[in-house]
Amino acid sequence: MSKIYDISQRIRTGIPVWPGDCEFSLKPTWQIEPGSPVNVSEMTLSTHTGTHADARLHFDANGLDCADTALDAYIGPTIFLDISKQVDGTVLPEHLSALPTKCERVLLKLFPQFPHDGWDPEFPAFSVEAIELLQTKGCILIGTDVPSLDPQSSKEMDAHFAVDRAEMAILEGLVLDDVPEGQYELIALPLKIEGADGSPVRAILRTTE
């Protein structure tokens, strides 16, 4: 029987968000009481809250939004590596030496322990060369536990544009602390939101044995 690993952040009041971005909130619109048979809530959140997919529109004014983003990359065979002890600031090609010659989807753990209760502005980022190496391996999706492929201070978004040239999909903010390295099936679909530059996802890994 296969095992499922939930690799999503819990979206909740106080969840850390990119500095200056919209804080998450949830408040009742209707509550079960005399005259109301249901609970219904109003939710406010950023398109990049928690575990999320970046649409091309996030970093390219002419890029596709979430509603028009193809879903193929977000479902299928995946390899997961923990390189958190190797990386000092930037993911380089040499950090990816354990990957096979061909890999469609790659998830990389960069935080020694995921920072659920705080924001780490010095999170590791990706070099263009690392993205280009993944492209040579046929990678169509890169996923990671950090909130962005580029440094927090970046204005050029070099890693994002390298991913765009390679026609890869992006998942960020994964929670990978309790997952053994290995091969899995990934399921992490973005919502079909017209005009959205990103979308929270419920990301899971399922064992293939």
Buried b (16+ CB within 10 A) or exposed e, 154-184: eeebbbbbbbbebebbbbbbbbbeebeeeeb
Q: Domains in the chain, start-ordered, CATH in brackets? A: 4-8+47-207 (3.50.30.50)
For the chain, the average pLDDT equals 97
Q: Which whole number is the average pLDDT over 34-50?
A: 98
Q: What percent of the chain has pLDDT over 70?
A: 100
Looking at residue 105, what is its pLDDT? 98
Is pTM beyond 0.75? Reply is yes
User: Are 174 and 141 contacting, i.e. CB atoms less than 8 angstroms apart?
Assistant: no
Catalytic residue among 58, 95, 116, 160: 58
- Side-chain-side CA neighbours of residue 17 (13 Å): 18
* pLDDT tens digits along 71-102: 999 999 999 999 999 999 999 999 999 999 99
Looking at residue 1, what is its pLDDT? 84
Decide which of 1 and 203 is more confident: 203
Question: Cα 113 vs. chain centroid, distance in angstroms?
Answer: 16
160 in active site:
no
